[in-house]
């Protein structure tokens, strides 16, 4: 097998729930380079720009967490009112 194939980084779809993927993207934002990245992130359709694709995934991920957290808080407040009454 050619040495270049052995040295290539594996192709991976960015997963915003993966802490390592978020760490690598943060490093990219600081340095502006994918040079030290362990993976080659794949840009999914309809995007042609990898950072834009990752940004949207991160926004959706964190918005989902925020609204899920708030709905749990509202339910716990309702439950505490029921137990008091």
Domain presence at residue 84: no
Domain presence at residue 83: no
Domain presence at residue 19: yes
Q: How far apart are CA 85 and CA 81, in angstroms?
A: 6
**pLDDT of residue 22 exceeding 90:** yes
Domain presence at residue 82: no
Task: Print the domain residue range for 59.
Answer: 7-75
pLDDT digits (tens, 9 = 90+) for 30-63: 999 988 888 899 888 888 899 999 999 999 999 9
Instruction: Give the residue with greater pLDDT, 6 vs 43.
Output: 43
Q: Which of helix, strand or coil describes residue 74?
A: helix
Give the count of domains, the chain: 1
Domain presence at residue 80: no
The DSSP bridge partners found for residue 41 are: 12
Domain presence at residue 20: yes
Parallel, antiparallel, or unpaired for β 11-13 and 40-42?
parallel
Domain presence at residue 35: yes
Domain presence at residue 2: no
pTM: 0.67
């Amino acid at each position: 097998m050619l040495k270049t194939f052995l040295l290539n980084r594996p192709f991976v779809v960015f997963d915003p729930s993966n802490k390592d993927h978020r760490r690598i993207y943060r490093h990219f934002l600081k340095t502006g380079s994918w040079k030290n990245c362990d993976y080659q992130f794949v840009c999914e359709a309809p995007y042609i720009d990898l950072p834009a694709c990752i940004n949207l995934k991160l926004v959706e991920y964190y918005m989902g967490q925020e609204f899920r957290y708030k709905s749990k808080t509202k339910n716990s407040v309702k439950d505490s009112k029921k137990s008091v009454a």
